[in-house]
A and B are shown apart, each in its own frame.
Chain A
């Protein structure tokens, strides 16, 4: 039998008293230690071993079916109970922030997709809003409304998927596939609008890639008609399921105070009673024109986070309905062609446009915020508050972009929540937090 079974010692960074190792023993012997002294050294080692043998260090990740990405959770378990939990992040560190220092403002839009690949549109929009605020330009109303509609569609897709994954991690595999199928409707629209499904790169600083296709309104109205019953079906399947409720209720409880002090935002914060929503409190893209509620839960457990997402989907549908009803016509790109590209047809036929196009595309004549200008701009992404801190040095590339990824702040509290719970609870909590590794590690 493997002699190491049961007392495997994975490196424990918090190990308090170092054990007398072979080296210490040799040192003691070379010092001429007597039998009595050695006995005490051995005894300490033995006792430590015995205590340790009750415990097991278990890795959840970086490759593990429950982590949905490259997260690493290190659990010290005693039987089925987690005694200590630690997390290690950085496995998907891609240097997005550093990349920004070498790319122009327009180019970096593509990088924002890769951060949160489940709601790329929201990241695109968040970044575009930040740079536009820095430049002090306002996009045309049609562009604003389209950005709102697409953001909310993307939010619905993200929430539905998260609920599905939450169910899958608890064993209800069918619900996950149903959720994937519902999300497909969202992706069909996204694909029709920008040609890509996951990495959309849809927004531009000062507008959007291009106007939506002619059948866009039909597609969205069809979605608005088909989606609510399917959403209700998933909700019914889970909310009436006793096993699901038992698994998530009272698990991973975060009270309002704790949520505030750990900086939880978005649906996770609101599930704990933190009444904050960037769309309502600091409206961007004309969110103040729409009439919607910010749902809130008070129990702060995984069940509340599930309900919160389900409620938010309804509000998003409501926003889409209103935005579609009042969708203005007009240009979708900021008309000042010092920052945004003119239409291709105009470039071929119009001298002025050709010059603008040339100067924008060639390095050195693109978007240049004034030197030292900086802005922190936040938007409401599906996971929480997504912030961009952009500092300009007056050149084509930003001096620094710092991202406030919601997952990073939400994930910090995770090890504190699972301690004292069971192994299965950790999965129930992690899936309800919906941590996206790309965004977490940037």
Chain B
């Protein structure tokens, strides 16, 4: 009876979904703490160190503080859209995370159209920002919302083109296949063994370096992080699209932003850094294909890479000034999109000419 229930595919599916949602929600407060400590370290400060051991409970205190704040809906705000906006930021970000393979055969929802689903759902986030800016009946918010929608739509093009290059390389839009394909070449580039560095040379970051850089830049813009945080830009627009938001509505915006950052980093790991592949160690072969240890170790490897990328995001945020609006558009439309189109053309050419190191053709 119990065995029937726990092996029921629907139950397993629900369990997985709850696990991933729960995990992501638990990671965000940790991420906020992580960010604050790193920011303090960069800025020669101490950072939060009062609540709990080393200040680790600070996020809890922050959440409690936010929950008890007065929830203000400004006069003249469009009430329903105003309430909907934070959810529209948060929901797509966490939905997109469901298709990310965080370990061997471990994802909340596995289906073949992984990347298409991710890009589709991910681009819904812009509605949240635009609605939030528009519905709060505040000029700063309106400009913030406008900037957000223009920026996210512009950079989505470059991001999508970079992803297509990877898809052409992998010959698949299934994220699991893309990960497997990155280590199946034996970790070598051009078939070369380079001083023992060949463990990770088949990762897409080496096969598609240009696409990786474009993807990285565009993902900063997509998540509205510095140097692309024009939509919130506290120096000019006070708080941008979330100027009027307070209490848990603001917390949801905040959560959405961090989940989006998490999703983008996870996607970057999956597409370019070999997913849960460990260089010089074939985990499934050593630990057994379907063993629980294989899955746990692969999740650990993935988390390690993810942590590095998140650190990178935070590092950049506390080091750079932000762009001006026209410079942002210039970079997006005149530099990144032509470059990614060129890269796409080159990849297609490689496919036709049969450059095996770039695209391991199955035929």
- Could you tell me which A residues sit within 8 Å of B by CB distance? 1-2, 4-5, 8, 56, 58, 60, 64-66, 77, 80, 167-174, 177-178, 181, 241, 243-244, 246-247, 422-427
Contacts and interface: CB of A to CB of B under 8 A. Distances in A.
B324 A66 contact: no
A178 B44 contact: yes
B229 interface: yes
A181 B227 contact: no
Contacts of B227: 171, 243
Interface of B: 39, 42-45, 76-78, 137, 139-140, 142-143, 226-227, 229-230, 233-236, 238, 318-327
16 contacts: A2-B76, A80-B326, A171-B226, A171-B227, A171-B235, A174-B39, A177-B43, A178-B43, A243-B320, A243-B321, A247-B321, A422-B325, A423-B236, A424-B236, A424-B324, A427-B235
A170 B44 contact: no
A172 B319 CA distance: 6
A170 B236 contact: no
- Of the candidates B39, B77, B78, B324, the one having the most CB atoms from chain A within 10 angstroms of its own CB is B324
B234 A65 contact: yes
Given A178-B43, A241-B321, 16 more contacts: A5-B137, A66-B236, A170-B321, A171-B227, A171-B233, A171-B235, A171-B322, A172-B320, A174-B43, A174-B319, A177-B44, A243-B321, A243-B323, A246-B324, A424-B230, A425-B324
B44 A181 contact: yes
Nearest to A238: B321
Contact of A423 (B143, B318, B321): B143
Contact of A424 (B77, B137, B325): B325
A65 to B, nearest CB: 5
A183 B318 CA distance: 20
Given A65-B234, A171-B227, A423-B143, A1 B78 contact: yes
Nearest to B147: A80
A171 B324 contact: no
Nearest to A421: B324
Given A169-B235, A427-B236, A422 B324 contact: yes
Contact of B321 (A64, A80, A172, A178): A172
A425 B325 CA distance: 10
B236 A2 contact: no
Contacts of B319: 172, 174
Nearest to B319: A174
- Of the candidates B42, B45, B236, the one having the most CB atoms from chain A within 10 angstroms of its own CB is B236
Nearest to A167: B321
Contacts of A246: 323-324, 327
Nearest to B230: A424
B43 A170 contact: no
Given A2-B137, A65-B238, A243 B322 contact: yes
Contacts of A65: 234-235, 238
Contacts of B324: 246-247, 422, 424-425
Contacts of A5: 137
A235 B226 CA distance: 21
A181 B40 CA distance: 13
Nearest to B78: A1
A4 B76 contact: yes
B113 to A, nearest CB: 37
Given A2-B137, A246-B327, A424-B325, A174 B235 contact: no
Contact of B318 (A174, A181, A425): A174
A-B pairs, 9 with minimum CB distance: A171-B322, A170-B321, A2-B76, A172-B321, A177-B43, A171-B321, A169-B235, A424-B324, A66-B235
Nearest to A165: B235
A171 B76 contact: no
Contacts of A241: 320-321
A309 to B, nearest CB: 17
B229 A171 contact: yes
Contacts of B226: 171
Contacts of A173: 43, 318
A244 B43 contact: no
A56 B139 contact: yes
A422 B235 contact: no
A246 B320 CA distance: 12
B104 to A, nearest CB: 39
B46 to A, nearest CB: 12
Nearest to A172: B321
Contacts of A168: 235
A250 B51 CA distance: 47
A287 B140 CA distance: 48
A5 B136 CA distance: 11
Given A174-B43, A424-B236, A58 B139 contact: yes
A225 B57 CA distance: 40
Contacts of A181: 44
Contacts of B44: 177-178, 181
B73 to A, nearest CB: 13
A360 to B, nearest CB: 47
A2 B136 CA distance: 10
A217 B139 CA distance: 54
A375 to B, nearest CB: 41
A174 B322 contact: no
Contacts of A58: 139-140, 143
A147 B53 CA distance: 48
Contacts of A243: 227, 320-323, 327
A174 B42 contact: yes
B35 to A, nearest CB: 12
A235 to B, nearest CB: 15
B139 A171 contact: no
A247 B140 CA distance: 21
A403 B322 CA distance: 38
Nearest to B324: A424
B318 to A, nearest CB: 5
Nearest to B43: A177
Contacts of A247: 321, 323-324, 327
Contact of A64 (B39, B77, B238, B318): B238
Nearest to A3: B76
Nearest to B75: A2
Contacts of A170: 235, 321-322
B325 A80 contact: yes
A170 B230 CA distance: 10
Contacts of B78: 1-2
B40 to A, nearest CB: 9
A201 B72 CA distance: 44
A244 to B, nearest CB: 5
Nearest to A177: B43
Contacts of B142: 56
A8 B227 CA distance: 32
